[in-house]
A and B are shown apart, each in its own frame.
Chain A
Amino acid sequence: MSKISSLADLRKKREELQAGMDIRIRALNPENIVQVKVAMATCGIASGSKTIMEFFLEQLDRRNIEGVVTQTGCMGYCYAEPTIEVKLPGQDPVVFGFVDLKRADQIIEKYIKTGELVDGIIPVNYQTIDLKE
């Protein structure tokens, strides 16, 4: 399809995709899916958290991983930005620091897909990061 420059184009493309059953319908039960939270405060943004968030949005989709990518505020680890929190179904959340694209890729391939731990884990005494803000 040619360039999408209006809501009408957007709707047309959606309808075509739906007709081809190309849109996955997600069962968004948060208990059963991977949750990725990207810390998005000033120091995170200055060190690249936007790129990391875009990478997870795109790659979970491409690699067919049931997951939701969202953001959180400052987790208090300015020295280790970009930081992300990953919660696998039924497990405690794990925080990773210094997440560049290479580490983000490892986190998906190893930690998210197989549960194997990778470098960059920040040990935390868990409350949850939302409450700490």
Chain B
Amino acid sequence: EIPHNEKLLSLKYESLDYDNSENQLFLEEERRINHAAFRTVEIKRWVICAMIGILTGLVACFIDIVVENLAGLKYRVVKDNIDKFTAKGGLSFSLLLWATLNASVVMVGSLIVAFIEPVAAGSGIPQIKCYLNGVKIPHVVRLKTLVIKVCGVILSVVGGLAVGKEGPMIHSGSVIAAGISQGRSTSLKRDFKIFEYFRRDTEKRDFVSAGAAAGVSAAFGAPVGVLTPGCISFQFFASMISTFTLNSVLSVYHGNAWDLSSPGLINFGRFDSEVGTGVPHLFLSHIPGGILGALFNALNYWLTMFRIRYIHRPCLQVVEAMLVAAVTATVGFVMIYCSRDCQPIQGSSVAYPLQLFCADGEYNSMATAFFNTPEKSVVNLFHDPPGSYNPMTLGMFTLMYFFLACWTYGLTVSAGVFIPSLLIGAAWGRLFGISLSYLTKGSIWADPGKYALMGAAAQLGGIVRMTLSLTVIMMEATGNVTYGFPIMLVLMTAKIVGDYFVEGLYDMHIQLQSVPFLHWEAPVTSHSLTAREVMSTPVTCLRRIERVGTVVDILSDTSSNHNGFPVVESNPDTTQVAGLRGLILRSQLIVLLKHKVFVERANLSVVQRRLKLKDFRDAYPRFPPIQSIHVSQDERECMIDLSEFMNPSPYTVPQEASLPRVFKLFRALGLRHLVVVDNRNEVVGMVTRKDLARYRLGKEGLEELSLAQT
């Protein structure tokens, strides 16, 4: 027994299986399907993508509208209270009120996540990344998760935490995609009997990637944002529809239909075409971006490690979230209270101006930073004219918000980290621009708003380390292609600088959760390892015609939770070689046992419906556990013939194959089981995801992770 560390792999994560089992049933079905049916399948795919886009856009609208209203209500209440008590004295009551409001809202948000669906915690991007990598994260694309996620993100933002609502959109989009593409809801126990062709891991994965892309585009108004593995045209189609839906519904809601000015949950506003005379100096923000990003990740790493080791009970997690909310309110209040920076009220850029101790007609500028939603603050930092911000105010705000955001990420609430990073980066970028123009005595090298944009890009790149997707997203969000090149340079440099210290935030969290994540390539120095060393052995094999009792015992064995069993030739003569004949999955065996497809029963001319592929698809994805299948003593003596149902041509690999070759085969084909055979086609071992994910390129070279029960 050892304390948790990041060099572990958990056994609870299974792989998704993208390999098609081409058994007899599949071949029969293919013979029956005609070409017309294939065309309808294609049309159905596009229809599903459109529906995914529309629903994702609608969910994003819902989140935006509810957050706007609830947050507005909260700010109004707090502002009225502060105004009342400014004259009379007793501002400590306002502080208590604000802290209590925050804590209670976040308490509800944290309760639903911690007790009902823990997988909805965080932004969801690491989970979807793993899902698209092929790891079956339990419950990640269920309807319950979607509901909890949406409610959770609303409550977190209204509760005043230093979070964003854009990251969870990706998770929501994926759940919507996974749900719609199956044409039924297992939670609601309704089967609409459509889209049955798509009830497979492969198809689901394609739709989930389209849903994730639709989520990104709804969040940022960036249709060509994230390019995930899968069919790109579906992703693009779903994204365009999603952003269009969001735009139209929000325009109608705000009263100017056809205005179409809000393509995403956050709009960066219009950036003009002249990138500025100070172009060289715009590139100065990448190095601090990388360093600050690495600092953020390192602090968050220690905090998350502490949380996993010591704060693992749900009630403790809820209490922690409440405390963070209360402290956020307190920090905000203290900073507003101490700030003497007063600005005259101009325009309607401040929704809830707080006068506090300023003269009449002026408002406290620190209050704008804390009473605005983070999205609006980011846009203000990008577009306010030079001179709108006091450097001292901005500096203090950046510092406080950095630590608050770092503390908040990893709590058991649904929340994203994109917007806080953008805000931190925009704040120090703007500060940098202001000090630069101050140092050069007023010859303004570039609009501080543009420095804010570069700073935001650098900080976000330094934290999440996504270069290409982020470049595209930010380029689209600014609405100006000329910003693409500077942003790309900034992001790449920030990534290089940050990678020198510590890895990206999402990758770090994936490692801390001990997920067996496979990268695109095997670790570079691993050619000396062969399949023989990587595989698991001995393997539990089944014979082609096997006793039911043996099958039930093997499936019920709790010490090893195998999901795939090689099928070997069954001859009574044990001296002969038992060669590999096929591969059968646990799910298929369970369906066979459930329908009692035994050899003896076929012999007795009991009128029995022949099993079709549809029966297997109906049971997908939540196959019943073996304990729910009842097999009587007599039935245990029957024999079961696996020839029709097994995969007759599983992928195999000789035992001398090097690790990179095995890795490439496994990863490129999206396999779940890879059988290792010797030169006589006998099964010697099996390679699964856990066996391959063990090897990682660490700081000192190739290292091996250990497996643990979590």
Q: Specify whether A and B are partners.
A: no
Question: Which residues of chain B have a CB within 8 Å of any CB of chain A?
Answer: none
Question: Which residues of chain A have a CB within 8 Å of any CB of chain B?
Answer: none
